[in-house]
Amino acid sequence: MAELGAALAARGVELVSTGGTAKALRDAGLAVKDVADLTGFPEMMDGRVKTLHPTVHGGLLALRDNPEHVAAMQAHGIGAIDLVVVNLYPFEATVAKGASRAEIIENIDIGGPSMVRSAAKNHGFVTILTDPADYATLVAEMDANGGATTQAFRTRMAGKAYARTAAYDSAIASWFAFADPAGETTPFPDTLPIALKRADTLRYGENPHQAAAIYVPQVVGAAGVPQAKQLQGKELSYNNLNDADAALELAAEFAGQEPAVVIVKHANPCGVAQGASLLSAWEAALACDSVSAFGGIVAVNTELDAATAEAISAIFTEVVIAPSVSAEAREIFAKKKNLRLLECGALPDPRRGGLALKTIAGGVLIQSRDNGAISADDLKVVTKRAPTEQELKDCLFAWTVARHVKSNAIVYARDGATAGIGAGQMNRRDSARIAAIKAAEAAETYGWPAPRTRGSAVASDAFFPFADGLLAAAEAGATAVIQPGGSIRDDEVIAAADEAGLAMVFTGMRHFRH
């Protein structure tokens, strides 16, 4: 701010300010008039009232070409204010740092947004700046136009100003709706204000004829693909971002656990594994479906090392994302100029709250995030045979993956690795069969004596409405089943599992992902 103040003063602009900003400008050796000198009233009520005055807003709102407005200014000693620079109280940052309710309330700016709106409304004559990124542009604009600004510039700045106050008010309204400890919070307020800031414009959307951009919430400390640092590679596309998010969300399920690798294609996992090393996890994940892995997205839950980077580089990969990347791994990936390499730092919290939005014709569907989770203690054994310790471990692993697979989802897993994944089919039986086919193809590719579905656990994201899907899994060699239960034909499905010698547990929770 001091740098801008110096640039304006050098161009003959009289500076008027308040509080801390005025002090900073004076400390920089600049002549500054207090707003109190302008209005004839001192700042009062702990600074809550200082700019809310006719002298200020009359100077902002007066139409310079309206004789009545000009006469009113002259009659009341109101001077024209031609330029307003405002940085609003840091409400969002105050909330993010965990401040007390009283401090949060005090950081709701009143005078600032009022001046912004007044100046923006009168942008035919007044320039309003709310973004420090525009300071240099303002100075260049003034130099190019004899100390003035153009109508086009003022109009653009007015649009940004209203977007800023809208976002600011949205953050305040959201806090009252979702986080105010003294209020009655609700996940679905009558009006849902959503404020997002454009992070980047993308080359195109899901298809080349679609325009696209990426926006991020005004949240300090948000963790995800948009916040990741791109270390190398081409610009991320819409599909890259969507797939990388799917991969990272699943990798985050294994935060703090043994090394895990997730391979995603078209927003669906095609291979997931954990291992004693990241390299062994990669090899097991790739073996699940090496055909689909071509051109895929890879996410890991720990630092990416050189050995794993070398192995990943052996196939065509679009994006690799990791919490951190070793210097040796970076050197290896640098040979793949088109590969996008992302370092995300902290993994997102898979159990975080929040809302999920989906647009439909004429409206928006909104639901809470699917952050539900189950543990071994939540499972109900419904068959004559209970799962073994290893089967139970494989059931929970398969269930973790299944909740990230498009419905209808079937996931076979054995020894901490997916053996086959069936996604997005119109019936559950076909998903079970497709996953088994992929497992059989993998066995043929790698020369295994049998598909890894033999002796596996199988997870279904929703209940089996008929026994056919379960029987398809049994035919593929699964020995244990994890599913939500809740079908009117549960007894029929349980009987079929008993007859096939399967162990089956119910979770009581489903994970549809359309």
**In this predicted structure, what is the pLDDT of residue 76?**
87
**In this predicted structure, what is the pLDDT of residue 49?**
66
Query: Phi and psi for 174 in degrees, rounded to 5?
Result: -65, -40
**Residues identified as active-site:** 121, 266
**CB neighbour burial string for 195-218, b if at least 16 within 10 angstroms, e if fewer:** beeeeeebeeeeeeeeebeeeebb
SS3 197: strand
Rounded to 10 degrees, what is the CA torsion of 304, 258, 267, 340?
A: 0
**In this predicted structure, what is the pLDDT of residue 434?**
97
Confidence of residue 398 (pLDDT cuts 50, 70, 90): very high
**In this predicted structure, what is the pLDDT of residue 220?**
64
494, 495, 461, 500: which is closest to 477 by C-alpha? 500
408, 418, 412, 377: which is closest to 505 by C-alpha? 377
Query: Phi and psi for 227 in degrees, rounded to 5?
Result: -90, -5
389, 180, 188, 226: which is closest to 321 by C-alpha? 226
Which CATH architecture fits 1-179? 3-Layer(aba) Sandwich (3.40)
Q: In the chain, pLDDT over 90 holds for what percent of residues?
A: 74
Q: Is the pLDDT of residue 320 over 80?
A: yes
Q: Is the pLDDT of residue 187 over 90?
A: no
**In this predicted structure, what is the pLDDT of residue 511?**
94
- Residue with tokens 């600032």, as numbered in its chain: 112
Give start-end residues of each CATH 3.40.50.1380 domain in the chain: 1-179
Q: Is the pLDDT of residue 137 over 70?
A: yes
Give start-end residues of each CATH 3.40.140.20 domain in the chain: 220-343, 373-506
- Residues 121-139, mean pLDDT to the nearest whole number: 94
SS3 201: strand
Is 288:446 a contact under the CB 8 Å cutoff? no
Confidence of residue 181 (pLDDT cuts 50, 70, 90): confident
Least confident of 48-62, 66-80, 320-334: 48-62
Give the class (CATH, top level) of 373-506: alpha beta
Question: 365: buried, middle or exposed (CB in 10 Å: 19+, 13-18, 0-12)?
Answer: exposed
Q: What is the C-alpha to C-alpha distance for residues 223 and 73, in angstroms, rounded to an integer?
A: 51
Q: Is the pLDDT of residue 226 over 70?
A: yes
Average pLDDT of the chain, as a whole number:
92
| pLDDT tens-digit map of 241-300 | 999 999 999 999 999 999 999 999 999 999 999 999 999 999 999 999 999 999 999 999
As a CATH number, domain 220-343 is 3.40.140.20
Least confident of 222-226, 402-406, 466-470: 222-226
SS3 208: coil
472, 512, 464: which is closest to 491 by C-alpha? 464
- Residues 7-12, mean pLDDT to the nearest whole number: 82
SS3 10: helix
Strands (E), 86-129: 127-129
Report DSSP state, residue 464.
-
| pLDDT tens-digit map of 14-49 | 888 877 788 888 888 888 777 776 766 667 666 666
For the chain, the maximum distance between any two Cα atoms, rounded to a whole number of angstroms, is 97
Q: In the chain, pLDDT over 70 holds for what percent of residues?
A: 97
Least confident of 33-42, 153-162, 304-313, 325-334: 33-42
